[in-house]
Homo-oligomer: A and B are copies of this chain.
Amino acid sequence: MRAFPILAAAFMLAGAAPEKKPPTAAEIIAASPPGAWLTIASEDLLVMELAGGGRVVIQLAPEFAPVHVANIRALARSGWWTGSAVYRVQDNFVAQWGHGDNGPPLPAGVIKPPPQEYWRPAKGLAIRPLGFADAYAPAVGFTGGWHVAYSPKRGWATLSHCYGYVGVARDVAPDTGTGEELYAIIGHAPRRLDRNLAVVGRVIEGIDRLSSLPRGKPPMGMYEDTKKNVAITRVRLASDIPLPDRPSFQVVNSASPTFAQLLALRTGHADAFYKTPPAGIDLCSAAIPTRKTP
């Protein structure tokens, strides 16, 4: 804490030569080869614009929830979310948006209800195991740019409810949620939700636009005064945004040596600040960096 800018200044003041030390995360990323990055397909980027400026960009995960993601694409293409709002912000839990109970008719192509895409077969996924104990799943790790919990024995895999991940709100079963109401995690990972809701992606830009919103009324965080709702002006797929303005992002491939280096740095913490390097790391604390496509 407090340390880094002051630390740099202290080194300068003391005239001490910085000792040879392992590269920082920023240095590892700066030195990463292009092959360490996966460019996200423009059909997998959901761009949500908020009233008052600012946007939230979400990477969709069709490999985990194909029907829910197809629904979300159909909703985006029809402009369904225009005029919707972020209407729920529950501290240390979620920000949630959509039309609530007052949505316009769903556009053609939206499947209701979609299947329970709460997990998928682990088979077919190349998973890098994290290698540390987890309270929720037999194993946790990474595939592509994703955080996953899985069971090598039972063969399931699921995206985890880590900070910034986006899921589909639903009612009790048999409802499975269409995708019209989405939530993003803005607090400590509520991993108890894993395998109970369809996780459809994660926020790769602008999570702070959601996490810094005023909290709604406990316990659910709904804004009592709907004037506090944060209007959503439009939501589009990046593939529907004309090329000059189309955003493009990359995510570190968790199979890459670059990610292995970043993970080792995070678990080893071989720097002057840590008196007691941590014995391990939990899934959601292992960051998978993203960047705008250079």
Instruction: List chain A positions with a Cβ less than 8 A from chain B.
Output: 1-7, 10, 26, 89, 91-92, 94, 96, 101, 116, 118, 132-137, 162-164, 167, 169-173, 177, 181, 183, 187-197, 207-208, 211-215, 219-220, 222, 266, 269, 272-276, 278-282, 284-285
How many chain copies does the complex carry?
2
CB distance from A257 to the nearest CB of B (A): 22
Q: When the two chains form their complex, are residues A192 and B281 in contact, meaning their CB atoms are under 8 A apart?
A: yes
Task: Please determine whether A196 and B280 come into contact, CB atoms closer than 8 angstroms.
Answer: no
Cα-based distance from A116 to B196 in the complex (angstroms): 43
Q: Which residues of B contact A132 (CB under 8 A)?
A: 135
Q: 3 smallest A-B Cβ distances: which pairs? A: A133-B133, A135-B280, A132-B135
A134 to B220 CA separation, bound complex (whole angstroms):
29
Give chain B residues whose Cβ lies under 8 Å from the Cβ of A96.
1-2
Determine the chain B residues whose CB is within 8 A of the CB of A118 once the complex forms.
Answer: 275-276
**Shortest CB–CB separation between residue A3 and chain B, in angstroms?**
6
Contact A3 B171 (CB under 8 A): yes
Main secondary structure of the interface of A (DSSP, over half): loop
Known: A135-B281, A183-B1. A276 touches B215 (CB 8 A): no
Closest to A164 in B: B92
Q: Among A183, A190, A212, find the residue whose CB has the most chain B CB atoms closer than 10 A.
A: A212
Tell whether A188 pairs with B163 under 8 Å between CB atoms, given A135-B134, A213-B212, A276-B196: yes
The answer to whether B135 touches A282, judged by C-beta atoms less than 8 angstroms apart, is: yes
